[in-house]
Amino acid sequence: MQTVKLLDGTSLPVLGLGTWSYGGGNTPDYSRDAESIATMRTIIGMGYTHLDTAESYGKNHCEEIVGQAIKAFDRSDIFITTKVAPEHLRALDVIKAAEGSLRRLDVDAIDLYLIHWPNKDIPLNETFAGLNKLLGDGRVKRVGLSNFSVEQMRESMRLCDGPIITNQVKYNLLHREPENNGVLDFCQQEGIVLTAYSPLKSDVMDHPVVKRIAAAHNATPAQVAIQWLVRQPLVITIPKSSDIDHAKENLGALDVALTEAEVAELDAISG
């Protein structure tokens, strides 16, 4: 699979698996665990080796699903991103949250640990006191951000003992805020990966220009929407999928060769 180079030299696939729908979404659901684990293993076997989860997904249960699913693979082949919730951003709470994620994932280290959302009531220097301890003792290998502004990114870069690897933000053909608020440009200038979440909202896939370009390539609108994202420097995406056919379809996006004229058309349809 096509990859991007992280600031520490690690290569990361441009297409990862968002796991929000595993284990219950907003509340824990244990009724489909066996099916969920089997599905995730099948999708990992297709080449989805970057798994994106969070302690808040399924109120902790999603991480347990991920932890069970990856037991069928060599740990070194799997890259796990998880996130600390905004209510856990005081130094000791960050450490406790990471310990909980490590336990649920049943791993020795988190490959990439993100601040899920900034919390205006907790200073970032307090948060990074905890994150830097986790970096220092190796329980967290890399640190990143999610839903951060350029100003908050700059402060995080100053406070972090390691490089800020990514900022994970909502970004798709019809949601261009990262272009408008400078986050995309800043990430590309600094070598920070922008991880686009929610790439396949229904309004994107129903857009007539997207549908027409997809038809011209014998592709699907989802494949066009994904390709438009990952063709950009230092942009990766993590569409969520608990459906094997959809995961397969999304992989096919990497084979869609958009023309410059088509890219210009897609660039022009922003929200």
Catalytically active residues are 57
229: helix, strand or coil: helix
Name the stretches of the chain with pLDDT < 50. none
| Superfamily, domain 3-200+231-242 | NADP-dependent oxidoreductase domain (3.20.20.100)
Q: Strands 11-13 and 3-5, how do they pair? A: antiparallel
Q: Quick one: which H or E segment has residue 166?
A: strand 164-170
Tell me what pLDDT residue 270 has: 72
Rounded to two decimals, what is the model's pTM? 0.97
Backbone phi and psi for residue 28, each to the nearest 5 degrees, phi listed first: -70, 140
Backbone phi and psi for residue 147, each to the nearest 5 degrees, phi listed first: 65, 40
- Contact (CB, 8 A) for 40 and 69: yes
Residue 231, classified by CB atoms within 10 Å of its CB into exposed (0-12), middle (13-18) or buried (19+), is middle
Stated length of the chain: 271
Tell me what pLDDT residue 224 has: 98
Tell me what pLDDT residue 255 has: 98
Q: Percent of the chain having pLDDT more than 70?
A: 100
Structural tokens at position 229: 């994202």
Q: Which long-range contacts (CB under 8 A, 24 or more apart) does 218-221 make?
A: 219/252, 219/253, 219/256, 220/249, 220/252
Tell me what pLDDT residue 271 has: 62
Tell me what pLDDT residue 202 has: 87
Close Cβ partners of 173 (under 8 Å, ≥ 6 residues apart):
204, 207, 210, 225, 228, 266, 269, 270
Q: CA-CA distances (angstroms) from residue 134 to 70, 78, 128, 131, 148? A: 22, 20, 9, 5, 21
Dist CA 15 CA 237 (whole Å): 5
